[in-house]
Chains A and B, each alone.
Chain A
Amino acid sequence: MIRNFFIYLTVLVVGVAFFVVMVLFAIPALQNSTVALVGLSSNSSSSGGGEADKASIEQEVDKLQKELDAYTPTNPYIIVNTSDNHFYLYKGKQLLRDGVCSTGKNEKLVSADRKYTHMFYTPFGVLKILRKSPNPVWKKPDWAYIEDGLPIPGPNDPSRWETGTLGAYKLELGDGYMIHGTIYKRRMGMSVTHGCIRLLDDDLEVVYKTMEIGSKVYIY
């Protein structure tokens, strides 16, 4: 009786295992092979057609390729990869310089009393250089004090003005976002900023001197 039970159980387990292997591996493999589609054909192509057709399509292809290439700026532009914290400075299709950068930390800061919130992220898309200037002075916004656990001073308090924090140059992108330098070099290559793009001193100098007002900044 017990012997029979084990025999049936073994056969059943082997059977279920066989079924599972078929469902998980064999049948999907069959589904993904072209064997499953034998005898089915789209039958939608015709033969013939002259060289003239081919030449006209090739002409259209050339035109489309030129149209697509025209999207790439001929003046300098910069591409920022926020995932790897890396930047690429281009002119046309020529890479002029690339290097490490720091971008937004993707954080929402909430004050202890929940009255104040601020989002820190680098916006994706195409931005333009609106202004650029050397020796920038940073006017610390309220969130800088909240983040440091300090009381917020008045709007024109002298403690708000800081020199050196933004490095030797700044290139403004609008809405308070900038490309600038940093004193926190240890954290380069990390997502630690409040949304701005930080570069190392040498890279910043090249970017500042190469990028023009109106140059595009591609951020992803």
Chain B
Amino acid sequence: MKENSVEDFDSLFVKEKNKNKGRKYIILIIILSVLGLTSIYAYLSISAVRDQMKLAIERAANSPAVNSSLFPQLKQKAWLESRLKMASLDSVGLSIDLEQHVIQLELKGVVVMSSKIRDCSVSGFFKKIDGNVYFETFGTPLTIKEFKSSIAKNPFKIVEAPKDTIAAQLAADAAAKKEAEERKNQNVFWTVKLDRGFDLDIQGIDSIAEAQKKYEFGKGFKSDRKLNNITNSFQHILKFSKPTYIPEILISIPENEAKAILRALPQKSLVTIRI
């Protein structure tokens, strides 16, 4: 049996060393690629937010500058003017006062439902707007463009006439039982797209203890958008284009009230917001 020479032993060691070096390179490339992609995506995402703000500033450029010392009074004036505009219409409108933590349904100027906001989260975008940008965004009523909800907005059933009185009684009892059951097990979460480029999310919570669970549900609902974001993000990275940024206002109110508001609002209803 031939013994290994000193050179053979060294060459084996060098091979192992090269192998480790190659492995390290590949790992480094993977890490750098991930960091690179993440950084590009973060850069594009932040740019999208900044663009949205620049756009809002541009839109407000032609309106007169607002006296900062009169801002609270002007805000109150704009709030009342918007609600008066809603009152001039025949349909139900929504007013959201984040200063007083109240959400209201208004019909012809009469507050038909008022609910205390239990929790609220607002995108940083809204915290940075002031002066005439604020009035350009919230100075007049916004219009709902699209609804998406976890429960049916207009739950209309089609029922075939029963053959006889016994079948009629059974059908009536079954319908009443079904309605009672549905009321017990409903998670209410809905979101609307508003005409000034942002979303309003309303979440029903019955107790603070239950809130966390429902938050998860709300987030689950929103994760549809987030999952889309993952696939879209790769496309944006490859094209080096900016992803769409949509600022959000998330409001938590009692569940039955969240449901009542959803069902009361017509498709293109007006919304007045004060932040």
A residues lining the B interface (CB < 8 Å): 4, 7-8, 11-12, 15-16, 18-20, 22-24, 26-28, 30-37, 40-49, 53-54, 57-58, 60-61, 64-65, 67-68, 70-73, 77, 79, 81-84, 105-112, 116, 121, 124-126, 146-150, 187, 190-192, 218, 220
Q: In the assembled complex, which residues on chain B have CB atoms less than 8 Å from the CB atom of A26?
A: 42
Tell yes or no: B21 within 8 A of A by CB: no
Q: In the assembled complex, which residues on chain A have CB atoms less than 8 Å from the CB atom of B264?
A: 83, 124, 220
Instruction: Please classify the interface of chain B as helix (H, G, I), strand (E, B), loop, or mixed, using the class held by over half of its residues.
Output: helix
Q: How far is the CB of A96 from chain B (nearest CB, A)?
A: 15
Give A161 to B245 CA distance when docked, in angstroms.
63
Q: In the assembled complex, which residues on chain B have CB atoms less than 8 Å from the CB atom of A187?
A: 176
- B34 & A37 in contact (Cβ 8 Å cutoff): no
Tell yes or no: B17 within 8 A of A by CB: no
- B165 & A107 in contact (Cβ 8 Å cutoff): no
- A44 & B66 in contact (Cβ 8 Å cutoff): yes
Tell yes or no: B189 within 8 A of A by CB: no
Q: In the assembled complex, which residues on chain A have CB atoms less than 8 Å from the CB atom of B149?
A: none
Tell yes or no: B160 within 8 A of A by CB: yes
Q: How far is the CB of B63 from chain A (nearest CB, A)?
A: 8
Tell yes or no: B194 within 8 A of A by CB: no
Q: How far is the CB of A80 from chain B (nearest CB, A)?
A: 9
- B168 & A82 in contact (Cβ 8 Å cutoff): no
Q: In the assembled complex, which residues on chain A have CB atoms less than 8 Å from the CB atom of B154?
A: 106
A42-B168 CB under 8 A given contacts A71-B108, A192-B175: no
Q: In the assembled complex, which residues on chain B have CB atoms less than 8 Å from the CB atom of A53?
A: 67, 70
Chain B 128-145 residues near chain A, CB threshold 8 A: 128-134
Name the residue of chain A whose CB is nearest to the CB of B155. Answer: A106
Among B41, B107, B111, B161, contact of A109 (Cβ-Cβ < 8 Å): B161
A8-B26 CB under 8 A given contacts A31-B49, A36-B46: yes
- A37 & B73 in contact (Cβ 8 Å cutoff): no
A146-B45 CB under 8 A given contacts A20-B230, A47-B68, A192-B175: no
Q: How far is the CB of A186 from chain B (nearest CB, A)?
A: 8
Chain B 51-80 residues near chain A, CB threshold 8 A: 53-54, 56-57, 60, 63, 65-71, 73-74, 76-77, 80
Q: How far is the CB of B145 from chain A (nearest CB, A)?
A: 20
- A64 & B80 in contact (Cβ 8 Å cutoff): yes
Tell yes or no: B174 within 8 A of A by CB: no
A147-B160 CB under 8 A given contacts A22-B38, A49-B69, A64-B77: no
A40-B128 CB under 8 A given contacts A27-B45, A46-B67, A190-B180: yes
- Given A37-B49, A54-B73, A82-B263, output 5 extra A-B contacts at Cβ < 8 Å: A27-B45, A47-B68, A64-B77, A68-B84, A220-B113
24 A-B residue pairings within 8 Å (CB atoms) = A8-B30, A23-B38, A23-B41, A28-B45, A36-B50, A40-B54, A42-B128, A44-B60, A45-B131, A48-B67, A61-B76, A61-B77, A71-B87, A72-B110, A79-B110, A81-B113, A84-B260, A108-B158, A121-B156, A148-B165, A149-B165, A187-B176, A218-B112, A220-B260
Give A49 to B74 CA distance when docked, in angstroms.
13
Q: How far is the CB of A10 from chain B (nearest CB, A)?
A: 9
Tell yes or no: B167 within 8 A of A by CB: yes
Tell yes or no: B14 within 8 A of A by CB: no
- B67 & A40 in contact (Cβ 8 Å cutoff): no
Q: In the assembled complex, which residues on chain B have CB atoms less than 8 Å from the CB atom of A72?
A: 109-111
Q: In the assembled complex, which residues on chain B have CB atoms less than 8 Å from the CB atom of A19?
A: 34, 37-38, 41
